[in-house]
């Protein structure tokens, strides 16, 4: 069996930065550290961080934090009001918001303060989008389905969730051009997502089976899965090598397997999967 790893797969810049920051903050302070929500959408990494005394808490838990507790903001970022709350509580806040996401937050704040309505092309339940919306007083119109847009304000600033699909961004913009008169649009889809999606798309055209590795709760991994399924019906989504189905390992008709991984999947999880497949 030939196993081919997609050209671009695994940790992106922002996720790697957040994990590296968490590890170095622990080295510096050597005490219990909290992250607001799981640092990244990957259970294996979250379990690893627990061994380093780094634990995930929820927004509601901020109330019980004490002065000089340490909280890490994950790469998805948080709403402005949560930053302010942490400041009031006098906790040590380590901001690991991906710099690309901070850039969107700043743009949204700037244009909201100048009188623009904000439209975020993305999933309203995704933490990154919830965070961005918190920089325009939670007033944004949020959708990634152009059919949902029937009216729009005259003056509008459009940004995108970093992991959004280019095609959805284009469809929404077509609608915006019809309804709004004064438009500022920033295509803030992260290139890390685009290159992973393109490589996965190309590879999935050429293999008998495609394995997408990453958290089941990771939106960019789920999108890779959707993209690969279009070319290769025999696509599976696993979190780690333990989930590789036995039937796949025993299927002699599968000669070529493609492997890709979401931006929140660490190298060690990818390597374990490749080793398991190669050892078949
Ligand atoms: S996908 Fe892009 S925006 Fe999101 S964390 Fe990674 S580098 Fe940052």
- On whether the CB atoms of residues 36 and 82 are closer than 8 A, the answer is yes
How many C-alpha atoms does 73 have within 13 Å on its Cβ side? 25
Segments of the chain assigned E as strands: 2-5, 33-36, 54-57, 70-73, 92-95, 117-121, 141-143, 155-160, 182-185, 209-213, 235-238, 256-261
Q: Among 193, 196, 223, 224, which is best to mutate for testing ligand 1, by the most ligand atoms less than 8 A from CB?
A: 193
CA dist., res. 164 & res. 257, Å (int): 26
Q: Could you give all domains of the chain from N- to C-terminal order, each with its CATH number?
A: 2-10+192-278 (3.40.1010.20), 13-97 (3.40.50.11270), 100-189 (3.40.1010.20)
Q: What is the pLDDT of residue 240?
A: 96
Q: Which atom, in ligand 1's list, is nearest to the CA of 12?
A: 6
- Concerning whether 63 is annotated as a catalytic residue, the answer is no
- On whether the CB atoms of residues 219 and 124 are closer than 8 A, the answer is no
Q: What is the pLDDT of residue 182?
A: 98
Q: Among 101, 192, 215, 222, which is best to mutate for testing ligand 1, by the most ligand atoms less than 8 A from CB?
A: 192
* DSSP structural state of residue 209: E
How far is ligand 1, taken at its centre, from the CA of residue 15, in Å? 7
CA dist., res. 9 & res. 183, Å (int): 35
How far is ligand 1, taken at its centre, from the CA of residue 11, in Å? 9
How far is ligand 1, taken at its centre, from the CA of residue 73, in Å? 14
> Within 10 A of 99 (CB to CB), how many other CB atoms are there?
11
Cβ of 135 below 6 Å from ligand 1 = no
Q: Which atom, in ligand 1's list, is nearest to the CA of 15?
A: 5
Which of 128, 182, 239, 243 is an active site residue? 128
Give the pLDDT of the chain (280 residues) as one tens digit per residue: 899 999 999 999 999 999 999 999 999 999 999 999 999 888 889 999 999 999 999 999 999 999 999 999 999 999 999 999 999 999 999 999 999 999 999 999 999 999 999 999 999 999 999 999 999 999 999 999 999 999 999 999 999 999 888 899 999 999 999 999 999 999 999 999 889 999 999 999 999 999 999 999 888 899 899 999 999 999 999 999 999 999 988 898 999 999 999 999 999 999 999 999 998 7
Q: What is the pLDDT of residue 34?
A: 98
Cβ of 143 below 6 Å from ligand 1 = no
Q: Which atom, in ligand 1's list, is nearest to the CA of 220?
A: 1
Q: What is the pLDDT of residue 166?
A: 87
């Amino acid at each position: 069996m030939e196993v081919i790893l997609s050209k671009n797969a695994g940790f992106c810049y922002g996720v790697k930065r957040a994990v590296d920051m968490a590890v170095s903050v622990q080295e510096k302070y050597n005490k219990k550290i909290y992250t607001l929500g799981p640092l990244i959408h990957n259970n294996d990494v979250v379990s690893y961080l627990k061994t380093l005394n780094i634990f995930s808490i929820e927004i509601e838990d901020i109330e019980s934090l004490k002065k000089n507790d340490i909280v890490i903001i994950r790469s998805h970022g948080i709403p402005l009001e949560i930053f302010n709350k942490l400041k009031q509580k006098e906790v040590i806040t380590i901001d690991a918001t991906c710099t690309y996401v901070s850039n969107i937050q700043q743009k949204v704040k700037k244009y909201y303060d100048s009188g623009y309505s904000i439209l975020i092309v993305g999933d309203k339940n995704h933490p990154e989008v919830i965070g961005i919306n918190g920089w325009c007083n939670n007033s944004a119109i949020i959708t990634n389905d152009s059919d949902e847009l029937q009216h729009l304000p005259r003056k509008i600033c459009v940004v995108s969730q970093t992991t959004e699909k280019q095609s959805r961004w284009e469809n929404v913009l077509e609608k915006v051009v019809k309804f709004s008169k004064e438009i500022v649009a920033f295509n803030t889809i992260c290139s890390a997502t685009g290159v992973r999606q393109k490589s996965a798309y190309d590879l999935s055209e050429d293999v008998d089976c495609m394995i997408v590795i990453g958290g089941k709760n990771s939106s960019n991994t789920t999108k890779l899965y959707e993209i690969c399924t279009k070319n290769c019906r025999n696509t599976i989504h696993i979190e780690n090598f333990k989930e590789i189905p036995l039937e796949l390992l025993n299927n002699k008709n599968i000669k070529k397997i493609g492997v890709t991984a979401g931006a929140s999947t660490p190298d060690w999880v990818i390597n374990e999967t490749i080793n398991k497949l190669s050892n078949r």
